[in-house]
Amino acid sequence: MELGVVGLPNVGKSTLFNAITRAGAESANYPFCTIEPNVGVVAVPDERLNVLGKMYNTQKITPASLKFVDIAGLVKGASRGEGLGNKFLANIRECDAIVHVVRCFTDSNVTHVDGSVNPIRDIETINLELSLADLESVNKQLEKVSKKAKQNDKEAIFQLGVLNKLAEALNAGKPAKSVVLTEDETEYSKSLFLITTKPVIYACNIDEADISKPEDEIQGVKEVKELAKAESSEVLVISAKVEQELTELDEDERAMFLADLGLAESGLDKVIKIGYKLLGQISYLTAGITEVRAWTIINGTKAPAAAGKIHTDFEKGFIKAEVVSYDDLIAAGSYTLAREAGKVRIEGKDYVVKDGDVMLFRFNV
């Protein structure tokens, strides 16, 4: 899963990126500090892997991974070349979802490009710039497709209809995902890699002093939640400063620090859970002496396609899968005991894989 991180300058975007990925992206109190896209890959926390690792006395544990792409802060006029962020929008066009960092803290020592803190205004600024950037892409396609459509090319006529629908919405400052499309039209629109078709997580960056307050009492958070609800987006309330402090602690100290703050989990854990929910993703597991590993798939994936995540030959030559749920395996104490208890099932090509399935594929090529 790949998440693109966007926001105005000085909203805590790179601080949050640093904290979550520990990748060391430069962070400072001036616009355009991030002048190259930063990329960080983090392991997805999954305690099930550690438990299975002990059960199998495995040599290697490989968690699923999450990739973050942090680009320079966008400003009003970015679609016309203002600032630096517009140069890097291409880096998030192929991301699966957008993490839009919104400033919900007041600090006189940290400048705001518009002179005051106003989360809704800031969101509207970024969303408009993303819509205009997409409009530019759509207009370029319209130029190409229009010529073919005039020659009665059926495919071009179809594409022209989709592009005109998208252009109308984007011209009005609306995201491409607001356009109602048929299944075929949606499939074509995916090839355009439009940013505003992507699911969005609004990350409200709050002051450390507000971390224990009810979320709706924190400046701007309630308003962001209402906006997000209207557009079917998700909201994450987080303190980039707290997340940064957590990176400097060991595992036991982190747990104590979170408990002291009244938090059940870190910002990274929240991002992962929300990201998986937004994108409809789950993880199945493979386990053995050599390796215990998590594999990320879309919820609803059938066994052959899930096997293809490991290797294309597994999908091509799929015969069957031996499946046991993680809970049943742990309750039994071993794979052998789970089999003896009738908890290991043989599933075929139509089996829909579930989160936490521990799987062994049989194939022939």
- Segment 112-134 shows an average pLDDT of 84
Q: What is the pTM (predicted TM-score) of this model?
A: 0.82
Q: What is the pLDDT of residues 150-167, one digit of tens each?
A: 888 899 999 999 999 999
pLDDT at 105: 85
Give the residue-averaged pLDDT of 86-92: 69
Question: What pLDDT score does 83 carry?
Answer: 53
Which range of 124-133, 228-237, 301-310 scores highest in mean pLDDT? It is 301-310
Q: What is the pLDDT of residue 26?
A: 57
Per residue in 194-224, pLDDT (tens digit) is: 999 999 999 999 998 898 888 888 889 999 9
pLDDT at 112: 67
- The full 3-state SS of the chain, as one line of letters, equals CEEEEECCCCCCHHHHHHHHHCCCCCCCCCCCCCCCCEEEEEECCCHHHHHHHHHHCCCCEECCEEEEEECCCCCCCHHHCCCCHHHHHHHHCCCCEEEEEEEECCCCCCCCCCCCCCHHHHHHHHHHHHHHHHHHHHHHHHHHHHHHHCCCCHHHHHHHHHHHHHHHHHHCCCCHHHCCCCHHHHHHHHCCCCHHHCCEEEEEEECHHHCCCCHHHCCCHHHHHHHHHHCCCEEEEECHHHHHHHCCCCHHHHHHHHHHHCCCCCHHHHHHHHHHHHHCEEEEEECCCCCEEEEEEECCCEHHHHHHCCCHHHHHCEEEEEEEEHHHHHHHCCHHHHHHCCCCEEECCCCECCCCEEEEEEECC
114 versus 39: which is more confidently predicted?
A: 39
Residue 76 reports pLDDT greater than 60: yes
Residue 27's pLDDT band, with cuts at 50, 70 and 90, is low
- Give 47-70 pLDDT, tens digit per residue: 999 999 999 999 999 998 888 888
User: How much is the pLDDT for 159?
Assistant: 94
pLDDT for 44 beyond 70: yes
